[in-house]
Structure 1
């Protein structure tokens, strides 16, 4: 009996927007995602496995998903993002430490997708559907929040560059909502400049 593998469809395949102002909305490059949980007293042990200290403050983060990114999303809870080729080694290192300290490491790659939004007006576009004030949020900041009532993880990596982590089922809606908000933003800018919509 032969077995076959059904490839997973990318819900954001083909989505891309680039506005006249240079604002870009597109899927973020794919990477693996893990949820890591451990107690405060075991944080140092988990940090040694990762090679650098886990962020202690909620909303703090370090790294990038092309190497290793760590987001502190709650007390004792982090999300790790890393290239697929590093997954096996990460899992082995935590498996070897399972008897040394209690922790939970769960692969959540199958349930999330990433959306990148960057360029002039990125924060303003997000602000139209996010209840948080993004004006003074620093680079290297992350949080759980809502975008048009959809739960997301919002990550700011530069003044005009954000990444959204969202469930696969909600990813197309989030992308379409952002594109609609960006187009409205562009239309308002043209009106203010005295042009046509």
Structure 2
């Protein structure tokens, strides 16, 4: 969870001005705010996230404590494979997250038959990950999304145009889910070398091997 600090600064002679910091992790913001309060010159300290939610110091501490009980520090890997002869697609996703002071990994794959291209399979794999993320109760926070599909990553980042109607529909569906869940996505393009878990899950799905597991790391 990232926030910025907003405050009023007052000199010993009563001259006032307003300050707003850059965004930073909430725990760091609390440390800085507490240090500023010791000067006796910081007034009306407020913490604001990128959704414009606001907290005072006491409330932000409670919010951080609550976050620890929910999945956070979330990173998703996704991959999709399309088999042209059978017109079947294998979808795979891996979700890493922290919860209650522990690290977890969730793996999920699926076999689907209604898709037409490999790019569609890639989008469908990410959509599968989003649905699994929702089932885990992940919401209102940052999520890193990593994949080796330059088409999906760059189109969702807005860096590449999307001319295919089918891909536009997938992109809209995913973005609508993120908006509904309050997710702030960061997209990361990676090589296949670093996406082997999701790739393996997609390949296993094409072979009819179904996988759904959660593991404490």
Name the TM-score, length of structure 2 as normaliser. Answer: 0.29
For the pair shown, which has the larger CA radius of gyration, 1 or 2? 2
Tell me which protein shows more helix as a share of its residues.
Answer: 2
Structure 1-normalised TM-score? 0.31
